């Protein structure tokens, strides 16, 4: 199944405000996108309320197991839905490359083993680590959409978790679904958020190990987009620290990622850190991504990026990332705020905090260098290096029914029959 709409070539090179006025066809196409997307979201959310929430009334292990699997399937349906929406309304592809020399490198043998191809040689799967924290630079609000699309090809789209602003959980339909997806909502105050984040991720890590399922936690350490408002703030902070500012990214904030890794690592021994450097065609040097790509311009106006470039590094958290000494952590217990209790995951010695901050900052300087290379050459790697072309289309025809939420009742009853 492919889209039948032809997109005007070259518009992605223009700032949104410089593009031609909307045609009636764009308006109709945008309305159709909203109808299809919101219909599918309503079906998925309704299935959660009708078929899954009633299971919470039953104090039985089988009911809890069916509920957990049902929520995973509904999240997987949404992951398939966003790929379908790209396929139908905003065709694009992921251009994936791998680090082969510096830190987080993969060998040729490892790269060959992780690529799964279907008929005609098309990439249909990427066997990247199944329990990981995924971090990336943050250029546009659509970053999460394309990172979740990557998770679809990794097979972890049923187990994606994202940090969001607390206010977003009250958005009708989508916000309710995000709450049931167990996304982590923060109030943007570390005094109150740090223990909540650590507790939430510790619980998720224990569940992943207990139920033997994947875990994909997506985080953007910069905390916000690169923009005309945030660029001076990054420069001001760099001057205060007495360090050079970045050219194409913002200085990363290490605190949230550090808490996250310290909370997950003791409970997920195989935890990996997947680092992605992302770039979009059409954004010039020192340009701002949101001036060229917004969710509205991509899906309602029909001007998607022709390619999303992703350069991947992979780290073994326990061996390669300096998160500090966690030998005294109890993986079977959740962080607590009880008086007299020491919360090892969030009470980090200053020396360990500084070491991790420096490590992350150096990793971000590597991103800055890669982005400079991309802006000069159009690629993160040399012409002879492997570049995986992954079109954003559904892997299987039956995933269409999954994306529209039509398999949810069947899946819930199947899980109920299998588990009781």
pLDDT digits (tens, 9 = 90+) for 184-223: 998 777 677 888 888 899 999 999 999 999 999 999 999 8
Domain annotation covers residue 54: no
Domain annotation covers residue 55: no
Domain annotation covers residue 335: yes
Say yes or no to pLDDT of 413 above 70.
Answer: no
The domain that holds 162 is classified in CATH as 3.40.1130
Domain annotation covers residue 5: no
pLDDT digits (tens, 9 = 90+) for 69-81: 889 999 999 999 9
CB within 8 Å of 153: residues ≥ 6 apart: 94, 123, 124, 125, 126, 390, 395
Domain annotation covers residue 149: yes
Domain annotation covers residue 299: yes
pLDDT band, very low/low/confident/very high, at 62 (cuts 50, 70, 90): confident
Say yes or no to pLDDT of 412 above 70.
Answer: no
Say yes or no to pLDDT of 4 above 50.
Answer: no
Domain annotation covers residue 63: no
Q: 3-state SS string over the chain?
A: CCCCCCCCCCHHHCCHHHCCCCCHHHHHHHHHHHHHHHHHHHHHHHHHHHHHHHHHHCCCHHHHHHHHHHHHHHHHHHHHHHHHHHHHHCCCEEEEEECCCCCCCCCHHHHHHHEEECHHHCEEEECCCCEEEEEECCCCCCHHHHHHHHHHHHCCHHHEEEEEEHHHHHCCCHHHHHHHCCCEEECCCHHHHHHHHHHHHHHHHHHHHHHCCCEEEEECCCCCCCCCCHHHHHHHHHHHHCCCCCCCCCCCCHHHHHHHHHHHCCCCCCCEEEEEEEECCCCCCCCCHHHCCCHHHHHHCCCCCCCEEEEEEEEEHHHHCCCCCCCCCCCCCCCCCCCCCCCCCCCCCHHHHHHHHHHHHHHHHHHHHHHHHHHHHCCCCCCCCCCEEEECCCCCCCHHHHHCCCCHHHHHHHHHHHHC
Residue 249 structural domain: 11-21+92-393
- Higher pLDDT: 337 or 30? It is 30
pLDDT of residue 146: 98
pLDDT of residue 22: 81
pLDDT digits (tens, 9 = 90+) for 155-192: 999 999 998 888 888 888 778 888 899 999 987 776 77
pLDDT of residue 129: 97
Gyration radius from the chain CA atoms:
22
Q: Residues 255-268: what's their mean pLDDT?
A: 94
Nearest to 268 by CA among 306, 211, 224, 218: 211
Could you tell me the pTM of the whole model? 0.92
pLDDT digits (tens, 9 = 90+) for 224-249: 999 999 999 999 999 998 999 999 99
pLDDT of residue 402: 85
Partners of 165 in the beta sheet?
186
- Total number of domains constituting the chain: 1
pLDDT of residue 2: 45
pLDDT of residue 414: 62
The per-residue pLDDT of the chain, averaged, comes to 89
pLDDT of residue 384: 63
Q: Residues 125-143: what's their mean pLDDT?
A: 96
pLDDT digits (tens, 9 = 90+) for 291-349: 999 999 999 999 999 999 999 999 999 999 999 998 888 888 887 655 445 577 888 89
């Amino acid at each position: 199944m492919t889209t039948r709409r032809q997109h005007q070539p070259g518009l992605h090179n223009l700032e949104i405000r410089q593009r031609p006025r909307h045609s009636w066809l764009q308006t109709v196409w945008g309305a159709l996108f909203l109808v299809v997307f919101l219909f599918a979201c309503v079906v998925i959310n309704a299935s959660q309320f009708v078929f899954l929430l009633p299971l919470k009334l039953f104090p039985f292990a089988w009911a809890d197991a069916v509920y957990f699997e049902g929520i995973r399937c509904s999240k997987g349906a949404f992951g398939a839905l966003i790929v379908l929406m790209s396929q139908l309304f905003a065709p694009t592809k992921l251009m994936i490359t791998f680090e082969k020399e510096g830190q987080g490198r993969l060998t040729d043998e490892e790269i060959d083993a992780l690529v799964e191809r279907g008929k005609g040689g098309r990439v249909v799967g990427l066997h990247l680590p199944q329990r990981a924290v995924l971090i990336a630079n943050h250029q546009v609000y659509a970053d999460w959409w394309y990172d979740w699309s990557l998770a679809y090809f990794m097979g972890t789209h049923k187990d994606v978790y994202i940090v969001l602003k607390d206010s977003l959980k009250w958005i009708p339909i989508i916000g309710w679904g995000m709450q049931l997806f167990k996304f982590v909502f923060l109030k943007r105050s570390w005094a109150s958020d740090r223990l909540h984040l650590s507790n939430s991720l510790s619980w998720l890590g224990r569940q992943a190990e207990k139920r033997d399922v994947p875990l994909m936690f997506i985080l953007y350490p910069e905390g916000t987009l690169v923009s005309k408002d945030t660029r001076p703030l990054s420069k001001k902070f760099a001057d205060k620290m007495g360090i050079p500012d970045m050219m194409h990214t913002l200085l990363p904030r290490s605190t949230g990622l550090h808490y996250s890794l310290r909370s997950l690592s003791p409970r997920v021994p195989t935890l990996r850190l997947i680092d992605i450097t992302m770039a979009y065609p059409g954004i010039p040097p020192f340009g701002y991504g949101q001036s060229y790509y917004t969710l509205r311009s991509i899906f309602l106006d029909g001007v998607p990026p022709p390619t999303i470039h992703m350069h991947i590094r992979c780290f073994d958290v326990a061996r390669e990332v300096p998160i500090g000494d966690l030998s005294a952590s109890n993986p079977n217990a959740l962080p607590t705020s009880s008086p007299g209790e020491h919360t090892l995951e969030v009470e980090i010695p200053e020396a360990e905090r500084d070491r991790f901050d420096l490590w992350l900052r150096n990793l971000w300087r590597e991103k800055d260098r890669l982005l400079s290379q991309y802006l000069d050459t159009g690629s993160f790697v040399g012409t002879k290096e492997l570049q995986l072309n992954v079109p954003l289309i559904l892997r299987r025809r039956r995933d269409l029914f999954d994306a529209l939420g039509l398999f949810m009742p069947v899946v819930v009853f199947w899980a109920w029959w299998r588990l009781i």
